[in-house]
Amino acid sequence: WLKTHYPAEFLAGVMTHDPGMYPRRLLLAEARRLGVKLLPIDINASSNEFHVERVNGESAIRMSFVDLKSISETEINRFISGQPYSSLSDFYLRAKPSRRTFERLALIGAFDELAKGSTRGDIQEKVKELNAIKVRPQEDEYSLFSESFIEQMPKGNPEMLTAEKVQNELELLNMDISEHALEKYRPMLEELGVVYANELLDIRNKTNVLVAGIRVATQTPPMRSGKRVVFISLDDGSGCSDATFFDEAQQRCSHLLFNTRMMLIGGKVRRTGAKGVSIMAENAWRLDELWEQWNAKRLGLSA
């Protein structure tokens, strides 16, 4: 009932209070499927919980500081207690972030709203300037600092491309917030005839298909036969497709199954009831390598 009538509140609660029950990416995929907007980490709006905000009359989920790589609970509490911040320099001086956390917050866009009008490149440049200060001044020493240096933002640095933003989010948060990581590959996937997760139920049993997405789960449960079977789930933005790799398929692509984030999988549809469907995998490929080959061919660069 909660999920149906209050999807944003329900998912924000699950993300905050049951972080290990479901992979975070599956919850984000479910939010997108339900039309719930995802709001990035924001230095003045985020906290140690996922919470709901109203945006244009609709409920949206604000991301939490807790998923930022290597951030400490002490830092998070210090950031929250100092909110709101008036500028990047104000945050640097009062919140006292570690150099690494300061840089990572800039990379994922946590200062975009605070430094509105500046590009992500400008913000990164300012963070470098502030991090270069050898001794952080104490509060009673702020006035000794040149106000023009502290407050002036660099100009003329390029805006970060959406693909770069998504890549930074995946590396530093292990989730994609700006847009689904598959978006940049859509033209190639359309040309290849890739089937999306929400279309699989309409496909006949034993039909050859291609599915693609970001790997959100890999399982190798013990089998009675003693042979290893690998189960992989891919999130493509419309839902998750599940693929099963038996011995022969594993021999073709075992090196991809545990270390590749973005994958294309080929195989046959396997119906397991009225609403059950999976892929009997035959092969798999790295999506980034296929993307490079596809672009080279499209631009006439291939031999």
CA angle 44, 48, 51 (to 5 degrees): 75
Examine the domain organization and report whether 94 and 188 are in the same domain. no
Phi, psi of 182 (to 5 degrees): -80, -15
Boundary (domain end) residue, out of 173, 203, 235 = 173
Indicate whether 192 and 147 sit together in one domain.
Answer: no
Strand order in the sheet with 37-39: 37-39, 58-62, 51-55
Residue 302 counted as domain residue: no
Q: Is residue 109 part of a domain?
A: yes
pLDDT in tens, 183-232: 999 999 999 999 999 999 999 999 999 999 999 889 988 878 878 999 99
Q: Which pLDDT score, from 0 to 100, does residue 303 have?
A: 45
Condensed to tens digits (0 to 9), the pLDDT of residues 97-129 reads: 999 999 999 999 999 999 999 999 999 999 999
Same domain, 110 and 195: no
Q: Does residue 148 sit within a domain?
A: yes
Asked if residue 141 belongs to a domain, the reply is yes
pTM: 0.82
CB of 137 closer than 8 Å to CB of 96 = no
Q: Is residue 9 part of a domain?
A: yes
Which residue among 173, 195, 229 closes a domain? 173
Q: Which of 29-43, 61-75, 138-152, 239-253 is predicted with the least confidence, judged by mean pLDDT?
A: 138-152
Per-residue model confidence (pLDDT) at position 22: 67
pLDDT band at 18 (very low <50, low <70, confident <90, very high): confident
Alpha carbon distance 156, 152 (integer Å): 13
302: pLDDT strictly greater than 60: no
The reply to whether 163 and 246 lie within a common domain is no
Q: How far apart are CA 255 and CA 144, in angstroms?
A: 57
Is residue 130 located within the same domain as residue 221?
Answer: no
b/e code 141-172 from CB counts within 10 Å (16+ = b)? eeeeeeeeebeebeeebeebeeeebbbbbbeb
Q: Pick the residue with more confidence: 19 or 146?
A: 19
pLDDT at res. 130: 92
The reply to whether 168 falls in a domain is: yes
CATH code of the domain in which 209 resides: 2.40.50.140
Cβ pair 53, 45 in contact under 8 A: yes
Q: What local confidence, expressed as pLDDT, does residue 266 receive?
A: 97
Q: Where would I find the H helices in 34-119?
A: 73-82, 88-95, 99-107
Residue 41 and residue 155 share a domain: yes
Q: Among the three residues 155, 173, 191, which one is the final residue of a domain in this structure?
A: 173
The boundaries of the domain holding residue 44 are: 2-173
Cα 189 → chain centroid: 20
Rounded Cα gap, residues 97 and 131, in angstroms: 10
Is the model's pLDDT at 24 over the cut of 90? no
Instruction: Please state the domain count of the chain.
Output: 2
Within a domain: 249: yes
Residues 257 and 131 in one domain: no
